[in-house]
Amino acid sequence: MFRILVSDKMSGDGLKPLLDAENVEIVQQNVADVEEQLHTFDALLVRSATKVTEELLSKMSQLKIVGRAGVGVDNIDIEAATKHGVVVINAPNGNTISTAEHTFAMMASLVRHIPQANISVKSREWNRSAFVGTELYGKSLGIVGFGRIGTEIANRARAFGMDVLVFDPFLTKERAIKMGVTVCTLDELLQTADIITVHTPLTKETKGILNKETIAKTKKGIYLLNCARGGIIDEEGLIYHLENGHIAGVALDVFEVEPPQSSKLLDFEQVITTPHLGASTKEAQLNVAAQVSEEVLLFLDGNPVTSSINLPTLSKEVYEKIQPFHLLAKQMGNIVSQCMKEPVHDISIDFEGSVTDLETSYITKSLITGFLRPRVDSTVNEVNAGIIAQERGISFGEKYIPNNSGYENCITVKVSGDHSAFEIKGTYVPHYGQRIVALNGFDIDFYPVGHLLYIQHTDKPGVIGRVGQILGEHGLNIATMQVGRKNKGGEAIMMLSFDKQLEQASLNELKNIQDIVSIHTIEL
């Protein structure tokens, strides 16, 4: 049974997949009200109100996934979630139309002074001359950030007969041409636009992208809108230019601090506001809640996620192709880790053959996870494996090499430690399974599961027999056995598998056999 905490208010219909699921218990309460139970939840669903901080994540020790019912994840400490091995997903498309429509409604309201006129009429005034507006038709709209919402706004603006200028450093020329917008630099946009609206995420680069200096470059009488995130337009800069009369009007759905109780911006007649309502429609709330609910359920049932912020996202179809290699890589990492009982500083992974057609970064993360599991106390998974490896001074990298192994696909892992190195090769054979096909240059062929014993020895008569005898005396049945050697009478290896774990006494006896160089038990 999975326990899911829904901390912010969400559409009941949207949560239906979770409410209907048999293996799920849902608690719809704010995190602050379930302080004692925080460690029991497997998943946390939030909108923008709940702040998912390092402190909260530390208290939620069972947490596996955070679902953000919306786009912006600035209320979630992604770095901390990644460190805690918690997957973060969002619902990127569900509220695009609602937010674009809201921005457009704000724009129309702004240039026609609708909110101010509404207050005036309700105050029993009839002051038509005070509310003379401006047409949108023929005006230049500058859009900063041309993603999902920016694109929808451009479509609507063109239908209103506006020229659309776009600044987005990640926008390709082809897409701009297709969308019928003019791409320009930020300075060109600032100097040309009559109205500017921002639709970027809040990042180090976008924080204060419109500020005292950049707003000064805009036309006198500019209209500015922020329906994305508070802080993208610097509030002090806004106040400065509202006071000096440079700005004709501002529409804000979002604020640097929400609610903006003490913000001076609320005192300006030419500032119109809404309380972060961009995504507040029945449709958007249903969409985003349903999207994250379905995704969280799939994830908890062991499926890949399609909109993760801190994991490579894979479709189910792609995941099915990757899954056998994902497992093979985890087993390979685990084997090396158990055989190399020393500090390791580099892991290099070579992919060859058909596996190179897949998203190998996911396979690499699985390998690093498998390697770290026997060494790390904290829960390590594909989300935090990279960070944990880095923290422990282990570098890793992957590359594609020509397919010379003789296998249809092959993964070779070379691990460098302080005192030695280890090399392992694995392949996946459909309908046959994962196979380890070489260890430290010895050709071998074994299935990497269960209780294994890896023995390095000298290729001499009687060694294998003595091993079998000691194991037999300890009541240990050898399930499978593989041997490999490079030269007659030289170094050799054995890989044995058992139905149960070996005890220390039998290992001690094996170690005493002359011509045995080393022994490692491997538990997979």
From 258, 320, 391, 473, the catalytic residue? 258
Q: List, in sequence order, every beta strand (DSSP E) within 386-499.
A: 395-400, 409-417, 421-429, 433-439, 442-446, 451-458, 478-485, 491-498
Identify what 154 binds: ligand NAI, ligand AKG, none; CB under 5 to 8 Å per kind.
none
Rank residues 149 and 242 by Cβ distance to ligand NAI and give the closer one.
Answer: 149
DSSP 305: P
Interaction pattern, residues 308-347, with ligand NAI; x per rule: CB under 6 A: ----------------------------------------
Q: How far is CA 76 from CA 47, 65, 207, 305, 443, in A?
A: 10, 12, 17, 18, 48
Q: Which residues bind ligand AKG (CB under 6 A)?
A: 47-48, 70-72, 95, 276, 278-280
Cβ atoms within 10 A of the Cβ of 139, count?
18
Which residues touch 323 (CB under 8 Å, ≥6 apart)? none
The yes-or-no answer on residue 509 being catalytic is: no
From 68, 229, 241, 457, the catalytic residue? 229
Quick one: tokens of 49?
Answer: 């109100």
Quick one: tokens of 413?
Answer: 């892992």
CA distance 1 to 237: 51
Least distance (Å) between residue 271 CB and ligand NAI: 16
Is residue 234 part of the contact set for ligand NAI (CB under 6 A)?
no
Q: Which stretch binds ligand NAI (CB under 6 A): 69-77, 134-142, 325-333, 453-461?
A: 69-77
Least distance (Å) between residue 9 CB and ligand AKG: 9
Rank residues 167 and 299 by Cβ distance to ligand NAI and give the closer one.
Answer: 167
Identify what 200 binds: ligand AKG, ligand NAI, none; CB under 5 to 8 Å per kind.
ligand NAI
Rank residues 241 and 276 by Cβ distance to ligand AKG and give the closer one.
Answer: 276
Least distance (Å) between residue 230 CB and ligand NAI: 10
Least distance (Å) between residue 6 CB and ligand NAI: 19
Rank residues 252 and 437 by Cβ distance to ligand AKG and give the closer one.
Answer: 252
Is residue 147 part of the contact set for ligand NAI (CB under 6 A)?
yes
Identify what 47 binds: ligand AKG, ligand NAI, none; CB under 5 to 8 Å per kind.
ligand AKG
The yes-or-no answer on residue 229 being catalytic is: yes
Which residues touch 362 (CB under 8 Å, ≥6 apart)? 311, 312, 314, 322, 326, 382
Identify what 291 binds: ligand NAI, ligand AKG, none; CB under 5 to 8 Å per kind.
none
DSSP collapsed to 3 states, 46-103: ECCCCCECHHHHHHCCCCCEEEECCCCCCCECHHHHHHCCCEEEECCCCCHHHHHHHH
* CA nearest to 227, candidates 118, 119, 150, 117: 150
Q: How far is CA 398 from CA 108, 256, 364, 395, in A?
A: 52, 41, 7, 11
| Greatest Cα pair distance in the chain | 109
Identify what 167 binds: ligand AKG, ligand NAI, none; CB under 5 to 8 Å per kind.
ligand NAI
From 47, 241, 276, 457, the catalytic residue? 276
Interaction pattern, residues 79-118, with ligand NAI; x per rule: CB under 6 A: -------------x--xx--x-------------------
CA distance 494 to 454: 6
Rank residues 278 and 386 by Cβ distance to ligand AKG and give the closer one.
Answer: 278
Say if residue 505 is exposed, middle or buried (CB neighbours under 10 Å; 0-12, 13-18, 19+). Answer: exposed
Strands 409-417 and 344-353 come out as: antiparallel
Q: Which residue is nearest to ligand NAI (CB)?
A: 147
Q: Which stretch binds ligand NAI (CB under 6 A): 30-38, 60-68, 167-175, 239-247?
A: 167-175
Q: Which stretch binds ligand NAI (CB under 6 A): 10-18, 105-113, 168-176, 474-482?
A: 168-176
Least distance (Å) between residue 231 CB and ligand AKG: 13
* CA nearest to 336, candidates 287, 374, 384: 374
The yes-or-no answer on residue 156 being catalytic is: no
Interaction pattern, residues 256-295, with ligand NAI; x per rule: CB under 6 A: --------------------x-xx----------------
Q: 389-392 long-range contacts, Cβ below 8 Å, gap at least 24?
A: 389/347
Residues 168, 170, 173, 176, CA torsion sign: negative
Alpha helices, DSSP H, located in 193-244: 212-216, 235-243
* Residues designated catalytic: 229, 258, 276
By CB under 6 A, name the binding residues for ligand NAI: 70-72, 92, 95-96, 99, 144-150, 167-170, 199-201, 203, 205-206, 227-229, 253-254, 276, 278-279
